[in-house]
Chain A
């Protein structure tokens, strides 16, 4: 009996030690998992208050000494976060590699620009239309291609991103290479005018982010989210267990696209002027980098990643022309040091430990001579 207890104690200690070695914020996560409702809501309220006072000049003078902080908060930071939340659904939840996410962003932006300048549509109506069109284009792209996996999907989505950009560039009906000017601002709301002052836009972006977060979290915890996890881990097994994988992959694609389209509409209303060059491949790559850097699949991580990827080049603007060089270097370094991201999702991390890579169809890993997988073979 005593022996048994000892063993049990030991193993639980081992478990704790293993967990403690996992990640510095694990204690925080344990607390969060057990926290009662009132504590959780306290944190939510604190976060929202924090977000509301974020544009304060005192914060801005440190965060962005060389450009207007509120503007930086809208673009790139806010827009990147919105895009990263959308892409996280596709890459982090459903495990599909999308390299053309910027296409949906472009479709949203062009919807507002075209409908607003040509037909005088207002912002809110176009927002709905932009989200709808982005979702439709997600379905149109996804329906024929989602049978492809991993890298084939990656190149097809990359191609789609380029198709959208080049088409915008060559179509004079939507401004061609000259772009579209005088994109309408949102209509005044609660007596607040959306004009030169960036503050109302910040709160607009903030509201969009909050909606996107709630939406994403609810989805992740639903039956749909579990189906996505199953597809990500092993598509064939999921299919055999009766998950209609194609349907759910298409759904993930369409929902990711919706959030991308929403970001596009919001962006265009602030930017006033858009052109095809606003939507290059490198933006898709940057958003993907933000998702992976933060920890794909884990929403706080993804938001942190998007924030850093957007903010760091702004903060270090004084290095002007070396910014992108350093950004590239940091990406390589970060991946070498923390390949699973800054705040990896626990589930993902456990899968990494098992050596499956945890990326579903993308994760087939080639073992080096001293990696764990080959060690297993030589045992």
Chain B
């Protein structure tokens, strides 16, 4: 057991960082919406799924049934293309979702429980729509089976840390995620839009009195969160090269767990929570085998919440000041 640990520790640390970066990016969407509306956006996982399908669509179009071989600049150009496209589509889908599933309830002053049911309904609807029609329309294969994406960035070994191997795609995922995280953090803490978001998170009624348009802020929040899920989706497709119509479920739950773990409503908490979750999961699979990975993730969540009921960093979108 100890030998296993020694042999696999660095490798699974790298795997954990990669998975954790993706969890963290998805978690941003949960955490921002929660910070502003005090609402679990359960359909956020489907926004991620839509992003993966968008990326898949572009890659399949580019590959035209074969494979893609590119130079360094070509690789980066394609990566940027799928990131931007799926961020745009996911962001748009998130705004649409808010318009259809949440806004009418908000106007009626309905309970958050009603909003939760609405989210579950929207989630089912999107899953089924993609599983039935949209995926098969894009890929030409049944939407109910796993879809494989062509590889466009070679999974080449770059260097070794001890006995852990760092590959090209690992670097792209982690660097991409960190850039997006820092960008969003700066956006929320420095710009006018960010101030509006923080004000709304802190006290929506006072924000209204100060001339903040809540509807606009909510829309922007969904747009940003959705776009982050889109970026995560593009990175996910690049790294793991598959998706299916139900992929959002487990990843969405993990990302939400990450958001709660770090302190929901807190952007830096989402990053921390994502990384911690990714690492713990991967380390635990050395001991217990990978089939128990998800169980450990939830057990860790329960343990952390027992001792720090608001997550590791506590909840505070409004306090994320520069």
Interface residues of A (CB under 8 A from B): 91, 97, 144-145, 147-148, 150-152, 154-156, 158-160, 162-163, 166-167, 169-170, 281-282, 285, 288-289, 292-293, 296, 321-322, 324-325, 327-332, 334-336, 339-340, 352, 355, 357-359, 362-374, 377-378
Contact = CB atoms under 8 A, between A and B. Distances in A.
B301 interface: yes
A199 B253 CA distance: 40
Interface stretch (B18-26, B85-93, B230-238, B256-264): B256-264
A362 B40 CA distance: 11
A172 to B, nearest CB: 11
A367 B208 CA distance: 9
Contact of A163 (B112, B121, B299): B299
A336 B118 CA distance: 8
Contacts of B256: 155
Nearest to A149: B309
B70 interface: no
Contact of A144 (B104, B111, B292, B302): B302
Sorted nearest first, the 6 A-B pairs with minimum C-beta distance are A331-B121, A339-B110, A328-B124, A159-B298, A328-B125, A339-B114
Contact of B124 (A331, A364, A371): A331
21 contacts: A145-B302, A147-B309, A151-B38, A155-B256, A158-B253, A162-B295, A288-B116, A289-B120, A328-B122, A331-B117, A335-B101, A335-B117, A336-B105, A352-B109, A357-B110, A368-B107, A368-B109, A368-B214, A374-B205, A377-B205, A377-B208
B34 interface: yes
Interface residues of B, number: 61
Given A321-B132, A331-B117, A339-B108, 16 more contacts: A145-B306, A159-B302, A167-B295, A325-B124, A325-B132, A329-B121, A329-B125, A335-B115, A335-B118, A362-B112, A363-B112, A364-B38, A369-B213, A370-B107, A374-B204, A377-B205
Nearest to B34: A151
Contacts of B105: 335-336, 339
Interface string B24-61: 00000000001011111000000000000000000000
A129 B276 CA distance: 39
B211 to A, nearest CB: 11
Q: Taking chain A's interface residues, is the majority helix, strand, or loop, or is none over half, making it mixed?
A: helix
Nearest to B112: A362
Nearest to B122: A332
A150 B38 CA distance: 10
Nearest to A92: B113
B209 interface: yes
A159 B126 CA distance: 23
Interface string B132-166: 10000000000000000000000000000000000
B191 interface: no
B111 A166 contact: no
Contacts of A97: 113, 116
Contacts of B302: 144-145, 156, 159-160
A209 to B, nearest CB: 23
B260 A285 contact: no
Given A166-B294, A335-B121, A366-B36, A359 B113 contact: yes
B120 A285 contact: yes
Contacts of B117: 288-289, 292-293, 331, 335
Contacts of A155: 40, 256-257, 260, 301
B214 A331 contact: no
Nearest to A167: B295
A369 B200 CA distance: 12
A158 B106 CA distance: 25
A285 to B, nearest CB: 5
B5 interface: no
B125 A292 contact: no
Interface string B266-307: 000000000000000000000000011011011101100110
A328 B132 CA distance: 14
B110 A335 contact: yes
Contact of B121 (A332, A340, A364): A332
